Amino acid sequence: MTQKDDFQLQGFLPYLLNQAAEESSLAFQRIYKDRYGMLRTEWRVLFHLGIYGTLSAKEIGERTKMHKTKISRAVAKLEERRLLTRQRDEADRRLEYLTLTAAGQAAYVDLRSVAKEYDAGLAEQFSPEDIAKLRQMLRHLARMT
Amino acid sequence: MTQKDDFQLQGFLPYLLNQAAEESSLAFQRIYKDRYGMLRTEWRVLFHLGIYGTLSAKEIGERTKMHKTKISRAVAKLEERRLLTRQRDEADRRLEYLTLTAAGQAAYVDLRSVAKEYDAGLAEQFSPEDIAKLRQMLRHLARMT
DNA sequence: TCTTGTTAGTTACAAAATCAACCGTTAACA
DNA sequence: TGTTAACGGTTGATTTTGTAACTAACAAGA
């Protein structure tokens, strides 16, 4: 209970970033979980395919920095639920191209609109300049510059 | 591969925050893991006790927003490694007060100095005003205002 | 051709997180 | 009191993640 030293955990960036990330993901998580039974890994894959169209698992890995086993499992789940299909590349048979089905597209479009609204709700708590600055700094910290 | 729509995942705050949090925790994680075999839950408990002195598990939960089972298991591990001790509250026998041992204090002091340096390394990538603003916004998003 | 190495992706097993049920203790109140 | 609910904390079962080893396919050089 007693203050023992002056280190501020609330100022430590990795901690602060984690808390902010967790808190800010909570309500959105509930939506994709309740509505589609998805995990974080799964909506990420879904969004990448929704945004970029057909991609291989490898390309998704490069873009998300998720480990390949996570992607493999997320893809398997999404395929099982008929939200995406795979197509083997005949020129290089190690590769599989992943594409959303109509149902997958629909799920993506739905969740995308939720995400847009959700993001706007977060952003409106700050001035447009501050939010722009925040995004820029986060991209830099995430090495997504 | 084809651009299919204009939604920017790189602008979606929950995603961006997660990526930044993950990336910025990586090197620090390696240190507490390699040096003390700790998990994220464990260094968080250690830091809270190091900073605030004696706390109950419940108080740690309020401060960290970690689930009580996580705390229970982290505390058990830290006790097992003789980094903290428990003392039952005789007035309310449900409560246990947790305090770092000398070894726990030493681990805390060591990791705190690592954290300070680490944080400084992150912070110096931006101007002091920008970093202050970032911290403030993150605290707000984390509801730690 | 025949290694040897690398790559895309999967699988098996261990470690960790989550969730619900649980125990002992205290509080509320009929 | 006696009974019921709430609380602090733990445990066990299930789910999810992480780590390594694996398969199948391709590539490069001798």
Render pLDDT for A106-119 as a digit per residue (tens, 0 to 9): 999 999 999 999 99
Give the closest of B13, B48, B144 to A24, CB-based.
B13
Domain boundaries, chain A: 26-141
Tell me the average pLDDT across A52-77: 97
Rounded Cα distance between B125 and B130, Å, is 10
Q: Which percentage of chain A shows pLDDT scores above 90?
A: 94
Tell me the average pLDDT across A78-99: 97
Q: Establish how many alpha carbons lie within 13 A of residue B60's alpha carbon, considering only the half-sphere containing its beta carbon.
A: 31
Residue B83's SS3 state is coil
pLDDT tens sequence across B62-107: 999 999 999 999 999 999 999 999 999 999 999 999 999 999 999 9
pLDDT tens sequence across A20-35: 999 999 999 999 999 9
Measuring from the CA of residue A75 to each C1', which nucleotide is nearest? C9
Fold of A26-141: Arc Repressor Mutant, subunit A (1.10.10)
Mean pLDDT value across chain A: 95
Query: Where residue B55 falls among pLDDT bands split at 50, 70, 90?
Result: very high
Tell me the average pLDDT across A47-72: 97
- What's residue A5's pLDDT? 80
Is the model's pLDDT at A36 over the cut of 90?
yes
For the record, the structure tokens of A135 come out as: 């995004």
* CB A69 under 7 Å to nucleic chain C: yes
- What's residue A4's pLDDT? 62
Query: Is B13-141 assigned to CATH 3.40.1390.10?
Result: no
- What's residue B57's pLDDT? 98
* CB A88 under 7 Å to nucleic chain C: no
